[in-house]
Structure 1
């Protein structure tokens, strides 16, 4: 008996293949098209032949979306997107691993215990997998969320992903390092795009621009995110472990010290990554403000393997205790 996630994935996969052939597009684009059809319960593409339109309609009608949870929908859609990513032309788009997205959701919940409402921004939203994971796990809070991505296929997938899960996310198809038309956020989450930023002229607006050559996109995203965060707001970044050992690290360190306090640095298990060079950590900042105090001791830890439930629970207890002690809640 197939699980709900498997049943939904099969629907996305089979119908995307039909649309891929009919529309002469990539599998990933077809996933976005079929996701939109599922949401509307209809075939929206005029180019589809009558016989295939009937086949698609039958498959869409056989599945009732309201019977699935948001997490089942997100996981099934994510599996189809991951399949499409393998043949997609932009290899630097890696989806945030599920275990990491879930852990970031847990951290956002813990650090914002006292908030009744949150404005959330992801300035490099991709397919909105990280953002919708966080939204699915926020307990009893009103949310307003924004996502920005320069890639038009990814933003279309984000839009469909949000619709299928009934999340009202305002999405912008633009370079996340250009001026943004968003409210200041209580929380920024971002799996930082790592590498050089190609647009020198735009980079020149930033304090963290390189003196010579191209600037690091991941440095500029940290700066940009801090500009769009409220005083006292939290930022959760997925960073390369090499962030503070690069040639421009001293400048970054000084900038962070001036504008934020470091709340924590949690190193992800090395077993998650193909090489040590690819390893990442979760970096937690709080933007400076009137009542913002640096923690007596920052939250520093190496996370155990996510599959080790016992050690993970012990780690989460430690984090809960740290937040209770530091934040008084």
Structure 2
């Protein structure tokens, strides 16, 4: 199995999605949800009000007959779904805050979580901005493959199309994920978790009355959604638990940074801020970083030296090996 199989599954997903999009006159994303549901239903084509037409049904059945999910591992299925969703983002002109987290960033979040968080075998993960699930599922698949553990995850999003895609993707990969259609800043029904991850949307949160109950709310006007989401994620993360957040590299340079920093240093331990490789971004202003927070608890302490710096280029294997050694040494000196 490998890239050829990923490409083959993607081709079947894309072909069947295009057939349904045309026949049902729906968006690419909606057609992708429909075709995924059909695949999960053993290749049976859902028919409603006589649609899709018989000719399309026959073409779909032929395509579904070629799909062998059982011959692919979970991450290959995730990659094929990711390619189909990327196609959908371009076709449906999805807004920037709804675009999925690239694999490269997901891999680095997973790597840090694995290296620093010491998740138990029954660990739980939370993503309050789960979207189509690519970040959460990249992390889950990597942790489960390397640690041979079975983790439970929870995802929250207020976009029902994105959440439906996350749902079919999780079922195809056979992941233990519970998804909730909610405003992530409201009172949530998710339990306390071992660790949190999120690729945070940048912008203002419109409901000032709700934001007012957060320490990170703005002193006047709308609050930054990403500040509130960081605070909310750590509220639902257990004592000693870590949060790994993809944020703008200049997060501490904004006008509202003072309130964020005050909350962070009183409610949590700020353990690190690592810039993602610049090659992943079109400009320095667009560069993002991974913010590492840890909740206070009996086994947590503030690192004497906060981890600051930048990941080496993903093409620089020797540099990445040096980085992993330095990270292990930092953990030994600061968190052990």
- Aligned with 2:108 (options 103, 109, 117): 103
Question: Match for 1:210 among 192, 213, 218?
Answer: 218
Aligned to 2:199: 191
The 8 Å contact of residues 158 and 184 in structure 2, kept in 1 or not, is answered as yes
Q: Alpha-carbon deviations, 1:21-47, whole Å to 9, x = none?
A: 122111111111112212222212432
Output the CA distance in 1 between the equivalents of 2:3 and 2:127.
Answer: 34
Does residue 24 of the first structure (1) align with residue 20 of the second (2)? Answer: no
Measure the CA separation in 2 of the matches of 1:23 and 1:243.
44
Which range moves more in the overlay, 231-240 or 96-105? 96-105
Report the CA distance between 1:114 and its aligned residue: 5.8
Cα deviation for residue 88 of structure 1 reads 3.2
1:1-329 aligned within 5 A: 3-41=4-42, 42-46=44-48, 47-86=51-90, 87-113=92-118, 115-138=120-143, 139-328=147-336
Q: Stretches of 4+ moved more than 3 A in 1?
A: 324-328
Equivalents in 2 of 1:293, 1:285: separation in Å? Answer: 11
Q: CA deviation at 1:317?
A: 2.0
CA distance in 2, matches of 1:246, 1:162: 36
Distance 1:56 1:233 in 2: 46
Aligned-residue offset at 1:128? 0.5
Task: Name the count of aligned residue pairs.
Answer: 328
In 2, distance between residues paired with 1:118 and 1:45? 40
Q: 1:255 to 1:21 in 2, by over 3 A?
A: same
Which one is further off, 285-294 or 90-99?
90-99
Deviates more, 1:104-113 or 1:7-16: 104-113
C-alpha separation in 2, matches of 1:143 and 1:228: 17
Uncovered stretches (5+) of structure 1, i.e. residues with no partner: none
> TM-score, normalization: structure 1?
0.96
Structure 2: tracts of 5 or more residues without a match: none
* Secondary structure in structure 2 of the residue aligned to 1:276: coil
Q: Does the aligned pair in 1 maintain the 2:243–2:294 contact within 8 Å?
A: yes
Distance 1:174 1:88 in 2: 24
1:279/1:2 CA distance change after superposition, 3 Å: closer
How much is the aligned-residue C-alpha RMSD, in angstroms? 1.6
Query: Counterparts of 1:326 and 1:4 in 2: how far apart (Å)?
Result: 43
> In 2, are the aligned partners of 1:28 and 1:88 still within 8 Å (CA)?
no
* Deviation of 1:296 (Å): 2.3
Per-residue deviation, residues 60-94 of structure 1 (Å, max 9, x unmatched):
11111010111111111101101111233433212
- Give the whole-Å Cα distance in 2 for the aligned partners of 1:326 and 1:88: 45
1:281 Cα deviation (Å)? 0.3
